[in-house]
Amino acid sequence: MSHPIHVTSEIGKLKTVLLKRPGKELENLTPEYLPQLLFDDIPYLKVIQEEHDFFAQTLRNEGTEVLYLDDLVKEALHSDELRTEFIERILQESGAHVNGSFQRLKEYLLSFSTEEMIQKVMSGVRKNEIDATKKTHLYEMMESHYPFYMDPMPNLYFTRDPAASIGNGLSINKMRQPARQRESLFMEYIIKHHPRFAGKDVPVWVDRNYDFPIEGGDELVLSEEVIAIGVSERTSAKAIERLATNLFAKQDKIKKVLAIEIPNCRAFMHLDTVFTMIDRNMFTIHPGIQDPDGKMNVYILEKGAEAGQIKITHNTDLQATLKEVLNVDELALIPCGGGDEIISAREQWNDGSNTLAIAPGVVVTYDRNYVSNELLRQHGVKVIEVLSSELSRGRGGPRCMSMPLVREDI
């Protein structure tokens, strides 16, 4: 392995990917707390695990090495000092230092093996797990008022968002919603302390301590020289500009960053829910992100004349802009659902545009989006379908569920 992270496109053959198998964190979802935990429904754990296993095996069948988030975290926390430091930080970010239960929870979590400790942190800690005789605060005794010391992290199976591979480095992201902000701490520890990554010259282009949010579902590596980032419900323009500034200052391969503005709403939470790359000159798109004339705001960010300065060019034709920056004469934008108003809205809601390219012209999609899948096949795309009845309840598709670590160059 020449470098532990190497991603210079969205479509190069996928060699190594990071996944998170759905776990008991999903069984700590209840109707009352769905909105704050960013879910619309409660998946059936047994079936969602079967579907996710099918997804992982599909990738292995295509020659991809599959790594799991919890395994990497366990291997990164290889000393008592690291275990303790990690628990102290996750408790701090969970608010335990505010509610008076910090030391009690620290002792409880450190009493487990590393593997069990990580699963407990991910699935959440209920108040009824602590011996009642040890509770000293009013809120601890009121289990019916709020049942958790530490909230579960049900969105963890969407590994795309907490961090994003760009070139030989990555962004470790400050996430927008409180329910997800702790997730990127796992990747920080993996990069710093896991033997696969530690000391391997993995630059962090922007870290999770920056003031403004950015999420991996908005970050698309179009080529060795161009990345696209959505200005969305979850990613701010200020974070995009900071990432672009850092990239231009710290490396010389990426020349342009496209900032693509999409509507600010839950259905279109990330750019990759409405726009993904399939081949060198082929993309899926949800028509709902464009105005009736097919226009939308696209900004090209380039290195300015002086250090730290950014040159910004505004366009309104996405297709023409992509042809320009990718240096192609022809470029197809394939509409989700074939452009039918009802079908496209239904299939986009179930991630019809959230394709995962595993090689040029080869994509993994949800089976339920049969109209979009058939349209891709008509354009010569090899479509590999995976099961989706429970996975789709989290509002993310194959791209959302995967963080590429290594792709072949194209």
Annotated catalytic residues are 400
Distance between CA 88 and CA 33 in Å, rounded? 25
* DSSP state for residue 67 in the 8-state scheme: E
Question: To which residue do tokens 């008076």 refer?
Answer: 100
Distance between CA 168 and CA 204 in Å, rounded? 9
Q: Name the E strands within 249-401.
A: 256-261, 275-279, 282-285, 298-303, 310-315, 332-335, 356-359, 362-366, 382-386
Write the CA distances from 405 to 9, 121, 171, integer angstroms. 11, 24, 12
Distance between CA 280 and CA 337 in Å, rounded? 21
* DSSP state for residue 167 in the 8-state scheme: B
Other CB atoms within 10 A of residue 62 CB:
14
What lies within 8 Å, CB to CB, of 76 at 6+ separation is 82, 189, 190, 192, 193, 194
